[in-house]
Structure 1
Amino acid sequence: MNFSIKEIISATMILFAVIDIIGSIPLVISLRKKVGHIQSEKATIVAAGIMIAFLFLGETLLKYLGVDVNSFAVAGALVLLILAMEMILGVDIIKNEEAKSASIVPIAFPLIAGAGTMTTLVSLRAEYEMANIIVAILINCLLVFTVLKSAAWLERKLGSSGLDILRKVFGIILLAIAVKLFSENVQQLFK
């Protein structure tokens, strides 16, 4: 194993930008209001497990299923698009009446360990040592856990009008990420 601080920092920053847990705060708070409780530990552990498993098995699994990375990214972009529309319009598109927690879906997947994160992991694997990527995943999961754990505190500090503004702004940013992910990958499908 060749640990490299430079590779760890680079991979951490790339994953941090893609996961965008800071930008997801309004969505996390909104989900928390809908379902009552988010199990931060469970969401973080599941997301870490999904990312590490996908790092090792992702490309092989997708090939086995007959799905290429671009198709996977387009599907993930559509899920993000729906979540963004909920945030911007203030409507419920995805309804899950029986949900007691949003810890696994949609927080662990697709919000944290979604198509964007998974396609990024496949790309990072081509450039960086596996051990450095795993460390970057773990650092990001620690940051995710901190944000999820402090969601109630953030909600109190921001207030309802602050949350509404933040939700709309980050909804638009999430929509832009979804459109970018969609457009970059849908072009590859038709080549």
Structure 2
Amino acid sequence: MELNFKQIFTAFMVLFAVIDIIGNIPIIIDLRKKVGHIQSEKASIIAGVIMIAFLFLGKSMLSLIGIDVNSFAVAGSFVLFFIALEMILGITLYKDNGDDAITASVFPLAFPLIAGPGSLTTLLSLRAEFRTENIIVAVIINVIFIYIVLKTSAKIERAIGKNGINIIRKVFGVILLAISVKLFAANIKVLFI
């Protein structure tokens, strides 16, 4: 096992930018309003497990069912697109079948918001460049950050206020929409080549 701090830091920063947990604060607050409570530990651990499992099994799992990484990313871009529309337009497209906090902690929070197509596709591309153990450490550090943000989202909401949250929600909705369009555009081209 050979830990390289430069690789860990680079992988951490790339994943941190893609996961964008700070940008997801408005979605987290919104989810908490819908379901009452979010299980921060469960969401963080599940997201971490999904990412690490995908790091090892992702490519073979997708090819086993005949899906390439690009098709996976395009499908994920649609999910991000609809979440962004909810944020920008203030409408509800995602309806939980019973407003269950456990369900919300897993879907859409742990997957696809945290361990989504963006972060999973990023993991596959990082694996081509970096050693696996360095990527795992970077994932674990990200999971710790995610847990802290999920745990303190109520305090963050109180500090920013209702209007501040609404403004941030719309701004990050547009950013998320742009990310989904970029993810779609980058991967749809490859599918038609």
Do 2:34 and 2:99's aligned partners in 1 also have CA atoms closer than 8 Å?
Answer: no
Residue type at the aligned position of 1:72: F
Residue type at the aligned position of 1:155: E
How far apart are residue 118 of structure 1 and its match? 0.6
Aligned to 1:49: 49
Aligned to 1:4: 4
Give RMSD over aligned pairs.
Answer: 0.6
Name the % identity.
59
Q: Give me the whole-angstrom Cα distance separating, in 2, the residues matched to 1:9 and 1:97.
A: 40
Aligned to 1:29: 29
Aligned to 1:96: 96
Aligned to 1:130: 132
Report runs of 4+ in structure 1 exceeding 6 Å deviation: none
Residue type at the aligned position of 2:118: G
SS of 2:161's equivalent in the other structure is helix
How far apart are residue 97 of structure 1 and its match? 3.7
Aligned to 2:107: 105
2:186 alignment partner, one of 179, 184, 187: 184
Q: State the TM-score, normalizing by the size of structure 2.
A: 0.98
Q: State the TM-score, normalizing by the size of structure 1.
A: 0.99
Q: Give me the whole-angstrom Cα distance separating, in 1, the residues matched to 2:160 and 2:122.
A: 32
Do 2:19 and 2:119's aligned partners in 1 also have CA atoms closer than 8 Å?
Answer: yes
Gaps (5+ residues) in structure 2?
none
Q: Give me the whole-angstrom Cα distance separating, in 1, the residues matched to 2:88 and 2:21.
A: 17
Q: Deviations over 1:14-51 (max 9, x none)?
A: 00000000000001001110010000000000000000
Aligned to 2:148: 146
How far apart are residue 99 of structure 1 and its match? 2.9
Aligned residues: 191
Gaps (5+ residues) in structure 1?
none
